[in-house]
């Protein structure tokens, strides 16, 4: 009977050692998980912020393209201001390109936020991802408008070519 009791105590000691090992492993994994979750949360928030900033940049580029197109339109009434028209069209095209680049940056940031959320669906991360997605849509809309405005500015130059025989050179 004493031998059986010794076996039981040995097995209990072995189980206790295994349980201690499991606790230690769990604490390590839990700590690593918390660090990863914190990093993922930061990535999502930063990605969302980047998407919002890129969206604002795209909107500013759209405004620049609109102002450049309006300047081209205003200056097109005076053939002596053809250099102004050329510069305005160049500015409109550059603003449109900047808008497209900003929209791409917003989309990339939104995708990063969405990818982070896919790994850990937490309410604050879902909100940040939704904001990034919304900012990306605004950026795409602004970029499309900036491109449209640069095309209108180019049409002004083209009409000057046809009507006045002037051949401005637009840099792209």
CA-CA distance, 3 to 24, in Å (whole number)?
32
Angle, alpha carbons 53-121-102 (nearest 5°):
20
- 33-51-101 Cα angle (round to 5): 130
Residue that wins the pLDDT comparison between 164 and 18: 18
Domain residue spans in the chain? 2-164
pLDDT tens column, 127-149: 777 787 888 888 888 888 888 88
Do the Cβ atoms of 87 and 69 come closer than 8 Å?
Answer: no
Least trusted range by pLDDT, from 3-17, 45-59, 121-135: 121-135
Helix runs in the chain, H state only: 2-75, 82-119, 123-164
Give pLDDT tens digits for 94-138: 888 888 888 888 888 777 777 766 666 667 777 777 787 888 888
Task: Give me the mean pLDDT over the 24-28 stretch.
Answer: 84
pTM of the entire predicted model: 0.64
């Amino acid at each position: 009977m004493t031998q059986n009791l010794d076996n039981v105590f040995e097995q209990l000691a072995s189980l206790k050692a295994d349980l201690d090992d499991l606790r230690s492993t769990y604490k390590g994994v839990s700590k690593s998980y918390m660090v990863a979750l914190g990093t993922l949360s930061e990535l999502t928030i930063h990605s969302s912020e980047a998407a919002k900033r890129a969206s604002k940049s795209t909107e500013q580029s759209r405004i620049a393209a609109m102002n450049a197109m309006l300047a081209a339109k205003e200056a097109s009434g005076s053939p002596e201001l053809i250099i102004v028209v050329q510069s305005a069209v160049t500015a409109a095209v550059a603003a449109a390109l900047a808008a497209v680049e900003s929209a791409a940056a917003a989309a990339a940031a939104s995708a990063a936020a969405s990818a982070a959320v896919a790994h850990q669906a937490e309410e604050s991360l879902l909100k940040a991802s939704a904001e990034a997605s919304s900012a990306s849509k605004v950026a795409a809309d602004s970029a499309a408008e900036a491109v449209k405005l640069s095309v209108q500015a180019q049409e002004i130059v083209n009409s000057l070519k046809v009507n006045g025989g002037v051949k401005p050179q637009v840099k792209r």
